[in-house]
Structure 1
Amino acid sequence: MERRTFLRGAVIGSSAAAFGGTLMHGAAYAAPAQPGAGPYGSLGSADANGIMLPAGFTSRVIARSGQNVGSTTYKWHSAPDGGACFADGTGWIYVSNSEISSTGGASAVKFNSSGSITSAYRILSNTNRNCAGGATPWNTWLSAEEVSLGYVYETDPWGVNAAVRRSAMGRFNHEAAAADPVRKVIYLTEDDSSGCFYRFVPTTWGNLSTGTLQVLKAGTATSGSFTWANVPDPDGSPTVTRSQVSGAKKFNGGEGCHYANDTVWFTTKGDNRVWQLNVATNTYELAYDDSLVPSGTAPLTGVDNVTGSSFGDLYIAEDGGNMEICVITPDDVVAPFLRITGQSSSEITGPAFSPAGNRLYFSSQRGTSGSSSGGITYEVTGPFRT
Structure 2
Amino acid sequence: MIPNNKRWSRRDVLRTIFFTAGAVGSASWLSGCGGSSESSASPIAPGPGVEPVPGNIPDTVESLVGRFANIGPLRETPDIHGVRTPEGFATRIVAINGELPQPAGMSPLAPQTGGVGNRPWHIFPDGGGAVPRDNGGWIYISNSEVPGVGTIGFTYPALATLANAAEELTPGLAQVGVLVFDPDGTIVDSYTILSGTTFNCAGCVTPWNTWLSCEEFPNGQVWECDPYQPGEGLARPTLGYFSHEAIAIDPRQRRLYLTEDMPDGRFYRWIPDPSDWPEGAERAALQSGRLQMLSVRGEGAEGALHSPQPVTWVDVQNPHEPQHENRLEESTIFDGGEGVWFFQGIVYFATKGDDRIWALDVAAQTIEVIYERATAEAPNDILSGVDNLFVTSLGDVLVAEDGGDMQVVVILPDRTLKPLLQVVGQDASEIAGIAFSPDGKRMYFTSDRGGRNGLGGFTNGLGMVYELILPDSV
| TM-score of the aligned structures, taking structure 2 as reference length | 0.71
Partner deviation per Cα, 1:145-185 (whole Å, 9 max, x = no partner): 11011000001111255410001100001100011101101
1:91 and 2:137 are equivalent in the alignment = yes
Instruction: Return the match for 1:131 from 180, 187, 201.
Output: 201
The Cα shift of 1:228 comes to 1.3
Whether the 8 Å contact between 2:349 and 2:358 is mirrored in structure 1 is yes
Instruction: Return the match for 2:314 from 229, 249, 257.
Output: 229
Whether the 8 Å contact between 2:427 and 2:460 is mirrored in structure 1 is no
Whether the 8 Å contact between 2:385 and 2:401 is mirrored in structure 1 is yes
5+ long unaligned stretches in structure 2: 1-58, 103-114, 148-171, 278-283
Structure 2 residue aligned with 1:144 = 214
The Cα shift of 1:253 comes to 0.3
The Cα shift of 1:235 comes to 2.0
Report the AA paired with residue 468 of structure 2: V
The Cα shift of 1:232 comes to 2.2
Q: 1:278-297, aligned counterparts within 5 Å?
A: 278-294=361-377
The Cα shift of 1:39 comes to 2.6
Whether the 8 Å contact between 1:307 and 1:352 is mirrored in structure 2 is yes
Whether the 8 Å contact between 1:63 and 1:69 is mirrored in structure 2 is yes
- Relative contact order, CA 8 A, sep 6+: which one is greater? 2
Partner deviation per Cα, 1:108-167 (whole Å, 9 max, x = no partner): 111010011010000000100001111111111100011011000001111255410001
The Cα shift of 1:324 comes to 0.2
1:51 and 2:96 are equivalent in the alignment = no
Q: Kindly tell me: are residues 242 and 3 of structure 1, through their superposed partners in 2, closer, same or farther at Cα, counting changes over 3 Å?
A: farther
Partner deviation per Cα, 1:216-265 (whole Å, 9 max, x = no partner): 1113332401111111211234x63660x331111110000111111110
Count residues with an aligned counterpart. 355
Report the AA paired with residue 343 of structure 1: Q
Q: Kindly tell me: are residues 38 and 4 of structure 1, through their superposed partners in 2, closer, same or farther at Cα, counting changes over 3 Å?
A: closer
Q: Which has the higher strand share?
A: 1
Bigger shift: 134-143 or 288-297? 288-297
Structure 1 residue aligned with 2:256 = 186
Structure 1 residue aligned with 2:242 = 172
Structure 2 residue aligned with 1:212 = 290
Once residues 268 and 431 of structure 2 are traced to their aligned partners in structure 1, the CA distance between those partners, rounded to angstroms, is 24
Once residues 85 and 260 of structure 1 are traced to their aligned partners in structure 2, the CA distance between those partners, rounded to angstroms, is 17
1:320 and 2:410 are equivalent in the alignment = no
The Cα shift of 1:308 comes to 1.4
Whether the 8 Å contact between 1:78 and 1:373 is mirrored in structure 2 is no
Whether the 8 Å contact between 2:338 and 2:388 is mirrored in structure 1 is yes
Once residues 295 and 110 of structure 1 are traced to their aligned partners in structure 2, the CA distance between those partners, rounded to angstroms, is 41
Structure 1 residue aligned with 2:272 = 202
Runs of 4+ with deviation above 3 angstroms: 4-7, 368-373, 383-386
Structure 1 residue aligned with 2:8 = none
Secondary structure, aligned partner of 2:374: helix
5+ long unaligned stretches in structure 1: 8-36
The Cα shift of 1:358 comes to 1.4
Report the AA paired with residue 228 of structure 1: W
Pairwise CA RMSD: 2.1
Q: 1:37-116, aligned counterparts within 5 Å?
A: 39-44=70-75, 45-70=77-102, 71-72=115-116, 73-89=118-134, 90-101=136-147, 102-116=172-186
Report the AA paired with residue 383 of structure 1: P
Identity in percent: 40
Once residues 385 and 104 of structure 1 are traced to their aligned partners in structure 2, the CA distance between those partners, rounded to angstroms, is 39
The Cα shift of 1:192 comes to 0.7
Once residues 249 and 290 of structure 2 are traced to their aligned partners in structure 1, the CA distance between those partners, rounded to angstroms, is 15
1:305 and 2:336 are equivalent in the alignment = no
Partner deviation per Cα, 1:248-301 (whole Å, 9 max, x = no partner): 111110000111111110000011110001101101101111111127961110
Structure 2 residue aligned with 1:23 = none
The Cα shift of 1:383 comes to 3.2
Report the AA paired with residue 185 of structure 1: R
Report the AA paired with residue 374 of structure 1: L
